[in-house]
A = this chain, B = another copy of it.
Amino acid sequence: MHIIQIASRFLILPLMLAAIAAGSAAAAEVEMQFYGNQHFLFKSPGGKVILINPWITGNKDVPFGIEHYKKGEVDLILVTAGHGDDVGQAVDIAANTGAAVFAPAELGGWMAGQIAELGGSKSQVYGGAISGRYHLGDITVQMLQALHGTGISAAGGRYGGFAAGFLITFENGLKVLMAGSTGLTLDLQLFGMRYQPHVVMVPIAGRYMMHPDDAAFATKLLMTDNPNLKTAIPQHFRIAGKPDWMGTPDEYEAEVRKLGLDVNVLKPEIGKTYTLTK
C-alpha cells in the first residue's frame, strides 16, 4: 500500500478504510494535508509537524487564518523561494508558533529579521543552501536546487538566494522529495539516482515552472535508478482562484499515463489527510 484516498490503477476502495483521520494520536506513518499552491502540512511518525510554504493570505484554498497554527503546534517551516505565494505567512506563523525555519540563507536572513520584529527570535531561522541538511529530531531535511527566481516579493524584490526544493527523510525512513517551484533539469535524474525518494512532489503550475507535460517527464527522471518511487504528488496548483494558465492534477495524471510511468498519482484535495507510506 502506498497511498490512501487516491485515484489509481492499483489502489482500490477497501484500502481507503485504512485512512487515518487528521489529528489522530501516535500515527505510525507520515500524514499529509494540502491547502492549495504549495501549502502542505506533514505530521511525522514521531509527531513532528512540518509546514511547507504556508501561504494563507490571498490563498482561497485555505479555510482558516494565520491563528490556525498555534504556539508549540508547528515544529518546522520549509520555504522554497522568496515570492509571495512561496514565503506566504511563514514569518507570522514562525513568530506565533515558535517553529524553526529552514530556508535559503539570503532569504532566511531577511526572514529572521522579520520574525524578530514580530516578537519571535532570529535564532528560529536555520539558513542553508543547496545540498545542506537540517535535523529535526530523527528527521533529516536536505535542501536541493530548484531552477527558479527567488526575489523576495515582500522586500521589494531583494535577492533571496538560490531557490530550493527539499528532501525530507522521516523517522521511519520514508523519503519525500518536494521539488519546489522548478523548471525541468537533468538534476532531477540525479535526485532519483542519488536519493531514491519514495514519494515525489512535482510542480505543475506552468508559466513560472513546469507545465504538466514536463512535470510528467520530470517524474520519469526521478524514477531513474530509483526502485523506491511509487507515489507522485502534483503540487503548485489551486482549486479556488485558479488562474487560467495554471495546470491541473488531472492534466498531470494524463501526461504521466501517456509516458506509461508505473507510479501512483496522488491528487490531493484541500484539507484531507493522506497517509504516505513506502
Q: Is there contact, CB below 8 Å, between A130 and B209?
A: yes
Point out the residues of chain B lying under 8 angstroms from A131, CB to CB.
Answer: 147, 182-184, 206, 209-211, 214
Distance in angstroms between the alpha carbons of A158 and B109 in the assembled complex: 12
Taking CB as reference atom, which chain B residue is nearest A149? B161
**Copies of this chain, how many?**
3
Distance in angstroms between the alpha carbons of A124 and B160 in the assembled complex: 26
Majority SS at the chain A contact face? loop
Q: Is there contact, CB below 8 Å, between B147 and A130?
A: yes
Point out the residues of chain B lying under 8 angstroms from A96, CB to CB.
Answer: none
Determine how close the nearest CB of chain B comes to the CB of A113; give it in whole angstroms: 11
Taking CB as reference atom, which chain B residue is nearest A135? B245
Point out the residues of chain B lying under 8 angstroms from A214, CB to CB.
Answer: 131, 194
The contact string, 1 if C-beta is below 8 Å from chain B, for chain A 132-168, is 1100000000011101110100000111111100000
Interface stretch, picked from A11-19, A41-49, A62-70, A185-193, is A185-193
Query: Is A128 in contact with chain B by the CB < 8 A criterion?
Result: yes
Q: Number of residues in A with C-beta < 8 Å to the partner?
A: 45
Taking CB as reference atom, which chain B residue is nearest A145? B147
Q: Is there contact, CB below 8 Å, between B109 and A157?
A: yes
Taking CB as reference atom, which chain B residue is nearest A127? B208
Query: Is A258 in contact with chain B by the CB < 8 A criterion?
Result: no
Taking CB as reference atom, which chain B residue is nearest A190? B186
Q: CB within 8 Å of B: which residues of A?
A: 83, 104-106, 109-110, 127-133, 143-145, 147-149, 151, 157-163, 181-187, 189-190, 194, 206-211, 214, 217
Beyond known contacts A105-B151, A130-B147, A185-B190: 20 more, CB 8 A cutoff: A105-B149, A106-B157, A109-B151, A110-B157, A129-B181, A129-B208, A131-B147, A132-B183, A133-B206, A133-B207, A143-B183, A145-B185, A148-B162, A149-B162, A151-B161, A158-B159, A159-B159, A162-B163, A186-B187, A194-B214
